[in-house]
Copies of this chain bind each other. A is one copy, B any other.
Amino acid sequence: MQKSVEENEAVVLIDEKGTRIPLIVKDKNLRIKRLGIYNPKELIGKKYYEKIEIGNRKFMIFIPSIFDKISAIERKAQIILPKDGLFIIYYCDIKSGDRIVEGGSGSGALTMLLAHFVKPKGRVISYEMRDDFAKVAQRNLENAGLNEYIGIKKGDITSKIDEKDVDAVVLDVPNPWDVVQNAYKALKLGGHLACYSPSMNQVEKTVKEMRMSSFFGIKTLETIQREMVVGEMGMRPSFESLGHTGYVTFGRKIK
């Protein structure tokens, strides 16, 4: 049987060009980018995965996947792409129930990925110094229906981590090496540290600092991803960009 939209659900509208508009089905008139003033409650009762019209534009309503949610975010800072974030999930063994410390929040793209995998019982505590970033991250997480699993905390993760016995610490800061010792203290035994850095020198300093603390299995990865295009002329890799994003370094706290 085909599901219809109900109140309070998180949905995503996808138009013919693949543009995604994330919404929570609650009664308030919103000014929505690309849609104008709109009351999401008008969606109640409409069928998922079928074409509908809003104004004179065509959409489908999707139950948003994590891919839909992250594709739809408003970007303030450069985000950590899923291509890199997924390896943080994997090598940090992030799973339902985990307690994660992240810093900083940025636009909340990685926060969203972390929240998605720790829910419903786990939590992400995300440090962010800048109010404008915190606000965008918060709004993105609300639109995705993931805000109850996170707490954005104003503060500088490079100076202090309040939490103890956390499952993982995930860093996207310019100077991760300065956080290594505090991360060690905040982690439970066997817990994971991940550091995302665009430059090699950041990686090198971080790895050296992790070696001096008791981290095991230190490993740095670079991931390159290309989309393949299947068209009239046959199949080929995309002509579009595939530039560098960042390296991710991992290690696990031992005694």
User: Bound complex: CA of A245 vs CA of B241, how far in Å?
Assistant: 11
Interface of A is mostly: mixed
Shortest distance between the CB of A121 and any CB in chain B (Å): 10
Chain B residue nearest to A192 (CB atoms) is B65
How many monomers of this chain does the complex have?
Answer: 4
Residues of B within 8 A of A93 (CB): 65-67
A57 CB within 8 Å of chain B: no
CB contact list, A199-240 vs B, under 8 A: 199-204, 207-208, 216-217, 219-230, 233-240
A123 CB within 8 Å of chain B: no
Shortest distance between the CB of A238 and any CB in chain B (Å): 6
Shortest distance between the CB of A2 and any CB in chain B (Å): 6
Give 1 or 0 for each of A53-85: 1 = CB within 8 Å of chain B CB: 000000010110111000000000000001100
Say whether A222 contacts B228, CB under 8 Å.
yes
Q: Quick one: which of B49, B86, B89, B219 contacts A255, CB cutoff 8 A?
A: B49
The size bracket of the interface on A is 35 or more
> With A48-B189, A49-B255 in contact, is A204–B203 under 8 Å at CB?
no
A244 CB within 8 Å of chain B: yes
Residues of B within 8 A of A133 (CB): none
User: Bound complex: CA of A48 vs CA of B189, how far in Å?
Assistant: 8
Shortest distance between the CB of A186 and any CB in chain B (Å): 16
Say whether B234 contacts A204, CB under 8 Å.
yes
> With A67-B90, A253-B49 in contact, is A222–B237 under 8 Å at CB?
yes
A96 CB within 8 Å of chain B: yes
Say whether B233 contacts A201, CB under 8 Å.
yes
User: Bound complex: CA of A234 vs CA of B174, how far in Å?
Assistant: 11
Shortest distance between the CB of A245 and any CB in chain B (Å): 8
A36 CB within 8 Å of chain B: no
Say whether B199 contacts A201, CB under 8 Å.
no
Say whether A230 contacts B204, CB under 8 Å.
yes
Say whether A208 contacts B230, CB under 8 Å.
yes
Say whether A235 contacts B116, CB under 8 Å.
no
17 CB-based A-B contacts, threshold 8 Å: A2-B255, A48-B190, A49-B190, A49-B216, A60-B216, A63-B190, A65-B91, A65-B252, A67-B93, A199-B236, A200-B236, A201-B233, A204-B230, A223-B225, A224-B224, A239-B245, A241-B243
